[in-house]
Chains A and B, each alone.
Chain A
Amino acid sequence: MTGIALKWALKKPVTSRYPFEPRQPIADSRGTLDFDTLTCVYCGVCAKKCPTGAIEVVRSGRRWAIDRLLCISCGACVEICPKKSLALDTRHTGPTITRDREFFTGAEKPAA
């Protein structure tokens, strides 16, 4: 034990001074869900597949909403989306003091 204690007393600390030093995210880590309004067709499959019910899709109004606090970053919506509009980024969801959904409204459908 003395060996370890001395060795680590002389080294730099293992802990990092977060949040003053930003954390280096690990690639492929499951973090925040990113939504692309341009490719989404508002089919609603992601909302059906979401295990916690965090996603809400309003088809006619072309609105897509997510409750960040309910999202467990499981990636089920990412796998099922037919247009690949969803992706999981590595950044953690930021702190928040209110509980409300984040709304995205898509552009109007071009007249056929």
Chain B
Amino acid sequence: MIPHEQTFEAIGSDALLRRVGELKAGGWRLAAISAAKNAAGLELIYTFDREYRLLNLRLQLAGEVVKVPSVSAQFFCAALYENELHDLFGLEVENMALDFKGNLYRTAVKFPFGCTKAPAPALAASSEAAKSPAVAAANKGA
């Protein structure tokens, strides 16, 4: 049985690209990019895998700063994860290798995971948006 090792490393967004480059040179590959909203803002976890070991980079984005550089130059598959995070959380990712500009995920409500309240049912949301653009804009930015 192979021991299931995993490590978590905290990192800042300025050190991200350099560290990802080191990991790529070390033979690691990207397994997942996950995000969660917490009290401080948005927390990103970049999960790397090599020979059954897991290495996670934890990136905490504070408050309104929801921009990260893309790692898709080193790992092409990251483009898919980053597009998904953009479509679900409203995260801005710079320089994605493949940029769908918000069209990857079709949802009735924009950025459904980004708002803190549960999204309204699809029918109500679209009719509400038609009635009042201000409400729709407020929903989008919440």
Direct A–B contact present (CB less than 8 angstroms) = no
Q: Which residues of B contact A (CB under 8 A)?
A: none
Q: Which residues of A contact B (CB under 8 A)?
A: none
